[in-house]
Amino acid sequence: RLLIANAQAAEICGQPPDELAPGRTREELLRLQLARGSLGPGEAGEARLQELLRRDPRIPTRERRRLANDRIVEIVAEPTRQGGRVITFTDITALVTAEAEARDRAALLQTMQDTMRHGIAFFGSDHRLIMANALATDLAGLQPGDGRPGMSVTELNAIRLRRGVFESSDAEIHASGRDRSRPHQSRRTLPDGRVVEALSDPTPDGGFVMSWTDVTALARAEAAAEQRAATLQAMIENMGTGVALFGADHRLMAANRLVEDLAGYAPGELQPGSSLEELLATQAPGAATGDINLDREYRALALGADRSRPLRYIRPAPAGRMVEVASAPMPDGGFVITLSDITALARAEAEAKQQAQIQAVMLSTIRHGIALYGPDHRLIAVNRLTTVISGTTEEQVRPGVSFAEVVRHQAAMGGLGRNPEAEVERLLSLDRRQPQHYRREASDGRMIEVHSDPTPDGGFAITFSDITALVAAETAARSRAAMLQAALDTMRHGIMLFGPDHRLLAANALATEIGGLSAEELRPGILLEEQVREHHARGMYGPEPEASATRDHLLAADRSLCWRRTRKMPDGRVVEVFSDPTPEGGFVVTFTDVTAQAQAEAEARQRAATLQVTMDNVHHGIAMYGPDRRLVVANRLAGPQHGLPNLHERPGVLFEDLVCEQRVLGFFGPDPEAARIAAEVIGLDRRKAIRPSGSRRW
């Protein structure tokens, strides 16, 4: 039974003071607490009550209980010698809250330590491990279980040596003997290839904190950056431009070797840290340009230049070189100077300028007008003759004017013919991406030929040519050609003209009629060989094997020589064919119908044969001479009677020659009588009938 209770007990337990009345039993007091919810709700509270009632009062107990008002009370029961017990109630709500917060903070810190990307370990002033997160073991090169609280730094480093973290025992000894009262930083590569950075920082109590960070990616990036930097340095050193970098204080930070060569410095003279003024002062006189006075001018330019603005100029250098100097500002207030050897470029530019001058002279003196337009169809340049030939003024064809404006100016000045509106529309609609060619007549009667050709940049060039004389010559040539063709077509011979390549150039109508050639065989461009073979296929050369022999003869004939032949056509006509060379290497083939002549000659031969038979049967010698005193015919008896055997076989011989032969043969006796008689015989007037007397055979 309750003997005594203070007011604080009632307050802490959440009961009215009158309920803690002396004399009440422990069970009664517990049931009052159950009723107020201090033992828990419902069945749980009842179970708690029964548990408390079963406790042995002789055994000390200590427990914490959360009351219905959420206060937390620590209850301590101590037995007394007399067999009773003393129960104390302490409100520990603030303590429990503080402990919970401390546990939460500890758990949070532990979570942070275990989840952070760094390994961390705390060592006391005795250099023994207090605590470490899981990552510290891994990044320190240890295995789980290697690092236990209470182990010294030396013990841990010995394990790390066995794990291969240290290259040698000397390195382990050095790491173990470091002064931990001062910060230390180191970087080490673990056996698995990871790179770990370790930091050691002292703590106020004399201990220290070790942290490890996996910097593998950083180390690789740094290595790659170093490699890139080395590559860039090699590129800079081997590039064809000298480069010098100056800081905001105008002092040299870095330069490649080519700067020394192009700026006139000896190797090693360009030392980082030197000011621009100092570097210019150390330059040997005349080393930069080869001229002391010129060096002085460029030195003053370099010192007085505003390096916050871009600067560029070209200066000469020794040995005839040309150097381009450029200065560009940097964002940090410094600047970069580049030096480029542009000797070849300068020479090329000089040559290009000279070539441009030559071309300008050529354009101004050429006998054609030329106008160049850009991709936007605006005029870029024209030569002098453009205005003369195209009928425009210099003001109308100034650079920048559009092609449409130029065309309309030409139309307004009457330079586009009788229908200028239609011509303007046609010219503006032409696709200038394609070559164009046309002719037009100017208002003064001149004929202008215009060519438009695209340029690679999308523009186009127009050339104007005054072809009035050419058109007149072409007209005259066409007229002459028409006259010649009419003459060819009306002459009584068939003609074919072949070029040096044996291809037909021209033929008249009679070539078909007389030569027996078809229209296909007379088409311009046909080869002579094709003609001959078509003739042979059509049977124009008669029966075989003579036809093939004729074909082969004609194909093998040397056309550089004159030749003629007579050919009998399948229809019975006789055609005489001539082939004569032309000066340019070709040849002309002519056909003449000689059928009537051939027939007359045949008839004459027939009559002559008949007459010869008749005369040969006459019993007198007979010799007939023509008006030209040449022998026409003689019978067999005429010769022997006059001392001239076979006279009948010598038609065409002169009468005088025959008399001389008679004299030589002694037919007239000895000279000088023979000479007199021969002269008398020759001098007789043969227009009169002569009857010789005596024994002379005249």
Q: DSSP letters along 554-584, please?
A: HHH--TTS-EEEEEE-TTS-EEEEEEEE-TT
CA distance 383 to 342: 32
Are residue 311 and residue 378 in the same domain, yes or no?
no
- Residue 355: both structure tokens together: 């070539």
- List pLDDT tens digits, range 257-272: 888 888 888 888 888 9
Domain range enclosing 535:
491-593
Are residue 550 and residue 457 in the same domain, yes or no?
no
Are residue 615 and residue 569 in the same domain, yes or no?
no
The amino acid sitting at 580 is: D
- pLDDT score, position 285: 79
Are residue 370 and residue 466 in the same domain, yes or no?
yes
Helix axes 673-683, 655-664, angle to 10 degrees: 160
Are residue 303 and residue 244 in the same domain, yes or no?
yes
- pLDDT score, position 695: 47
CA distance 87 to 218: 65
CATH value at residue 189: 3.30.450.20
Please check whether residue 669 lies inside any domain of the structure: yes
Are residue 249 and residue 318 in the same domain, yes or no?
yes
Are residue 17 and residue 67 in the same domain, yes or no?
yes
- pLDDT score, position 456: 92
Please check whether residue 228 lies inside any domain of the structure: no
- Residue 490: both structure tokens together: 């009306």
> Does the pTM of the predicted model rise above 0.75?
no
Ramachandran class of 400: left when φ > 0, alpha when ψ lies in -120 to 50, beta otherwise = left
Are residue 527 and residue 441 in the same domain, yes or no?
no
- pLDDT score, position 369: 79
Please check whether residue 602 lies inside any domain of the structure: no
- pLDDT score, position 328: 94
Q: Interior CA angle at 223 toward 219 and 225, to 5°?
A: 115
Are residue 59 and residue 149 in the same domain, yes or no?
no
Please check whether residue 313 lies inside any domain of the structure: yes
φ, ψ of residue 553 in degrees (nearest 5): -65, -45
Q: Is the dihedral of CA 243, 249, 250, 252 positive or negative?
A: negative
CA distance 259 to 242: 4
Please check whether residue 598 lies inside any domain of the structure: no
Are residue 388 and residue 457 in the same domain, yes or no?
yes
Query: Residue 284 gets which letter from DSSP?
Result: P
Please check whether residue 376 lies inside any domain of the structure: yes
- Whether 381 and 364 have beta carbons less than 8 Å apart is answered as no
Please check whether residue 413 lies inside any domain of the structure: yes
Are residue 411 and residue 446 in the same domain, yes or no?
yes
- pLDDT score, position 113: 61
Please check whether residue 574 lies inside any domain of the structure: yes
Are residue 531 and residue 560 in the same domain, yes or no?
yes
Please give the tally of structural domains in the chain: 6
Q: Which residues of the chain have pLDDT under 70?
A: 106-116, 169-175, 235, 356-367, 388-391, 443, 481-492, 514-515, 612-619, 692-698
- Whether 494 and 591 have beta carbons less than 8 Å apart is answered as yes
